[in-house]
Amino acid sequence: MDTAVVVVWLSMVITILSRSHADRNVYPSAGVLFVHVLEREHFKGEFPPYPKPGDSSNDPITFNTNLMGYPDRPGWLRYIQRTSHSDGVLYGSPTAEHVGKATIIEITAYNRRTFETARHNLVINIMSTEDYPLPYQAEFFIKNMNVEEMLASEVLGDFLGAVKNVWQPERLNAINITSALDRGGRVPLPINNLKEGVYVMVGADVQFSSCLREVENPHNQLRCSQEMEPVISCDKKFRAQFDIDWCKINLVDITKVVTIHSNRPDPGTGVLPDIGEYNPPSESLKSRDFFADFLITLAVPSAVAMVLFTILGYSMCCRREGVDKRNMQTPDIQLVHHSSIQKSTKELRSMSKNREISWPLSTLPVFSQSGEVVPPIHPDNYETTSMPLMQTQTNLQNQIQIPQQQPSGKWYS
């Protein structure tokens, strides 16, 4: 192999290894939506080139994200990637509890065609803000958007611009974005380009505008109860790009800790609470001996069964009175009466075997082969029980042979 080729391959491997261990630092603020896009184009350079140009441009790449040393991400951080040919997105809203703690996210890219991997580390340094949290928060439900579409910087910027136009605050931030599926929504049918819907929470430093409060008037409340769209004066400023369900808007004033639009239960934020780290049991646990438990489980039922068997056997075998004892306790007149009944029964049975009863005519042949009627004559000592129902020619007795006339006028003896 040529030395130049070896040098090129070694340099390429060193570059891949150095890139796979490179750390990228980001500095989000507490209480502000954090969005980080995992671009497929950025990770394509991590995989070696292919002989044919353009082969690696359409490789399916998926990402796996987890907190370093743990199998999953932090509770406030979520991840979405629709297909292996689209970019992945990390998003979430850190809280003040995470300020000053460096969160290292391991990002592993999988090339589904070559089965190669590349790894990056994303270091999230959460910063504190003076205006955290913003006192007035409004949550909108946008029906014609998916979460990954809303996370795009230009789409989210357009939405914040429309909200700022109708609210007129000095400071306005996107606090959180949640898919409707995380709130118990249904997966839409794949027709008419239906969307899942997304909840977008924004915060501001001024009171809610009159446009946002229009949903609270009785007329709009009645229309919402009848599943009709309320009449909102500023809806036309959103309708061109965003289809907002004004019946699901939620206005919260943190200073009063009271939900202003509180005619429905709070759907929640869709973020899992942070319950701390998982502490597995110690490896020095002693093994438990279950032999005694096995003996108790087996011995107690066996002992009960033996006692019951002994009582039953004694009652059936040792407590029997016997025939002699029964006869001793029975009066003599009753024994004589019983003996006479048995003797009479035996005598009747013996007499029934010797009695003679004529056979029914239906069991005898009407005509014999010679044409003569045979009378039902039986010997006296012949048992009727052994006589067949149908008699054959050989069984017939006292049958007279009658000579038959032959043709052509001749007699034969």
pLDDT tens profile 372-412: 555 554 444 444 444 454 444 444 454 445 455 445 444 44
Contact between 42 and 88 under an 8 Å Cβ cutoff? The reply is no
**Residue ranges covered by each domain of the chain:** 22-125, 136-259
Question: Looking at the predicted structure, is the pLDDT value of residue 282 above 80?
Answer: no
Cα R_g (the chain), whole angstroms: 51
Q: Which residues contact 247 (CB under 8 A, 6 or more apart)?
A: 215, 224, 229, 230
Burial of 66 (0-12, 13-18, 19+ CB in 10 A): middle
Taking all residues of the chain, what is their mean pLDDT, rounded to a whole number? 77
Concatenate the DSSP letters of all residues of 179-231 into one string: EGGGGTPPPPPSSTT----EEEEEEESSPPPHHHHGGGSHHHHHHHHTT----
- Which pLDDT tens digit goes with each residue over 148-195? 899 888 999 999 999 999 998 888 889 999 998 888 888 887 777 788
Contact between 163 and 172 under an 8 Å Cβ cutoff? The reply is yes
Contact between 31 and 132 under an 8 Å Cβ cutoff? The reply is yes
Q: Which residue type occupies 211?
A: C
Task: Kindly report the CATH number that applies to the domain delimited by 22-125.
Answer: 2.60.40.10
Instruction: Please tell me the number of Cα atoms within 13 Å of 310 on its side-chain side.
Output: 6
